[in-house]
Amino acid sequence: MISLQTKLTYADYLETSDDERYELLNGELVMTPAPLLYHQYVLGKLYAKMAAFVDERDLGDVYFAPTDVVLSDTDVVQPDLLFVSKRRKHILTRENVQGAPDLVVEILSPATAERDRTLKLDLYARHGVHEYWIVDPDARTIMVLRRGERRFEVAGIYGAEQTARSPILEGFSIALDEIF
């Protein structure tokens, strides 16, 4: 007997409740619980630094969750933080981001850590995200990944008393002591 599982699409996703946070991963609707307070603190610090850098240099736009990023009809994510360069501004619509951002940041939480390190890592690489940061608030580390030919490669792993640097946002760096 063959089992056929129906994949949900972006149209199905739009029918979900506004009271809950969802992502659509490979056609499967996944609820994302509200992040912990410390997660939000780290997100706020990262957003403030990155947005100020990007705005001062007129490089593009920085957004934070919940912002829908439509990677395909069956893949809609809400990264914690994302950057879209000025030259790729055409992927920004009134409602969402239609395509892969230049840079995506995911801050690990107990409910999403495994998904951020595996499923989303693969998803972001497949759809053309150029740079992916995995921020671990418990370990107080940031892993910066840069997209190679087909997958991400580690550009740097930063810890206590170190400064994380972005390969695509040339000149952008952040001391980890400032965000943790």
Residue pLDDT, tens place only, 24-74: 898 888 888 888 999 999 999 999 999 999 999 999 999 999 999 999 999
pLDDT tens across 83-97, in order? 999 999 999 999 999
Domain regions of the chain by residue span? 33-178
Residues with Cβ within 8 Å of residue 134, at least 6 apart in sequence: 106, 108, 116, 117, 121, 142, 143, 145
CA gap 75, 29 in Å, rounded: 9
List Cα–Cα distances, 139 to 82, 98, 159, in angstroms. 22, 33, 8
Q: What is the CATH number of domain 33-178?
A: 3.90.1570.10
Handedness of CA 147, 97, 115, 108 (dihedral sign): positive
pLDDT above 70 covers a percentage of the chain that reads 97
CA gap 11, 170 in Å, rounded: 37
Distance, first Cα to last Cα, the chain: 52
